[in-house]
Amino acid sequence: MRVILAEDSVLLRDGLVRLLQAAGMEVVDACPDAETFLASVREHRPDLVVVDVRMPPSFTSEGIEAALEVRSELPEVAVLVLSQYVEERYATELLAGRAKGVGYLLKDRVADTGDFIEALRTVASGGTALDPEVVSQLMSRARNADPLARLTPRELDVLRLMAQGRSNQAISKELYIGEGAVEKNVSSIFSKLDLAPTTVDHRRVLAVLQWMEHGESR
């Protein structure tokens, strides 16, 4: 297995290199920052990358943003994030769409090197390895998320008028747009609020309920 590391701490980086080599893995490169990491990945096309979240120069999110670039450009490369922090927004994006060949572990919670090596092998083979704390925080984020945040300003205007009981025709007149445009916005609202067609619940009513819960203060 060919691996590239991205870790700014010299001691941890060297320790990881020795650990992976002792486990029979080939460490192609060990990079101190996200820029050299991305260049190395594009050149060597490893089987797996292990990336810290916060790296130079700003020590905010350079590492996980680089991991997302690898995920997008080279989907065949498995990605494991190893960090002290759960960056919820980026972690959600990392796992979205193709939740395989991906992992997110917390440094302080890795209690056994054997388990860590096994997690690397799992991710490299197309599986997932997620620390339970990461899962817990992402689930909490999902529960607390504002579903209306996905709507455009125009869609919010349409939903606001729907909540006032306006018909598509009335919304069209209020916003000075065609009824066809209103229908497209309504359809997009249903899609973004995950309101699938059903014979039981009226999607228009459900959308208005979400507006009443999250949007009246906007």
Distance CA 5, CA 49 (A): 6
Q: Do residues 190 and 201 lie in contact, with contact meaning Cβ atoms separated by under 8 Å?
A: no
Measured at the CA of 118, the angle between CA 113 and CA 120, to 5 degrees, comes to: 95
Q: Do residues 134 and 176 both lie within one domain?
A: no
Residue 173 has pLDDT above 80, yes or no: yes
Q: What is the CATH number of the domain that holds 42?
A: 3.40.50.2300
pLDDT (mean) for 173-189 = 92
- C-beta separation of 76 from 53 below 8 A: no
In percent, how much of the chain has pLDDT > 70? 89
- pTM of the model as a whole: 0.65
49 plus 111 within the same structural domain: yes
Residues 6+ apart with CB under 8 A from 126: 78, 100, 101
Same domain flag for 103 and 158: no
Q: 144, 169, 204: which is the final residue of a domain? A: 144
In the predicted model, what is the mean pLDDT of residues 73-81?
94
